[in-house]
A = this chain, B = another copy of it.
Amino acid sequence: MAPRTTQILEAAARLIARRGVRGLRVEELAAEAGVSTGLIYYHFKDRTGILRHTLEFINDRAERYTTARDEDAAPPDPREELMETLLLELQDTPEVRENSAAWGELRASAVFDEALRGDLARATLVWVQELSALLGAVRPTASAPALAEAAERLTAQLEGLSMRWLSGGLPIDRARDLMRGAIRAELAVLGAQEPGAVE
């Protein structure tokens, strides 16, 4: 993506995380990104276009920080990789906080804005499929529907905990502990479905 459009999407994610989707004005976005409103309309057509591209942008960014690995390190074992991938979304760093707040806002505003629903559903599906694959690496004999169910629950659990953390009702360490417990519970259920499996 061209540097200029990246600059606009970075500014959009920042503004949404700071004040929400509903307060996002194109004039304000232009000022934050240091570009003209004309350039924004040229690249993204309208407000919906901005929101849809911002959703894609924060997804790509989350993909980056949840899969970044030290190339010299040994490949993590599947259970470690599963835990790490989910727990990297619950970190009190400016990047994760901004990304999670923007994602939560886009999810919340899709309740009222049908234009965002399709993209959001597709992005969620991709996330659920990736997590199913990680769960399947830990529980290779679990059925595909059982893995998909566990992945759907764990991603919704993460969103629920993340919103509580961001809205000030849940300390980040407690959120991480609760998430670890959720992963263990789902693995136990998936393990119980494998005859003779022992954790």
Contacts and interface: CB of A to CB of B under 8 A. Distances in A.
Interface of A: 18-20, 22-23, 101, 104-105, 107-112, 114, 116-117, 120-121, 124, 149, 152-153, 155-161, 163-164, 166-170, 177-178, 181-182, 184-186, 188-189, 192
B178 A189 contact: no
16 contacts: A18-B112, A20-B111, A22-B22, A101-B111, A104-B108, A108-B163, A110-B167, A110-B169, A114-B168, A121-B168, A153-B157, A153-B182, A156-B160, A157-B182, A159-B163, A160-B160
Please give the count of copies of this chain that the complex contains: 2
A163 B19 contact: no
Given A19-B112, A20-B112, 12 more contacts: A104-B108, A107-B167, A108-B108, A110-B169, A114-B168, A120-B169, A153-B182, A160-B161, A160-B163, A184-B189, A185-B185, A188-B192
A107 B104 CA distance: 10
B167 A153 contact: no
Nearest to A174: B152
Contacts of A167: 107-108, 110-111, 116-117, 120
A114 to B, nearest CB: 7
A177 B150 CA distance: 11
B110 A108 contact: no
A192 to B, nearest CB: 7
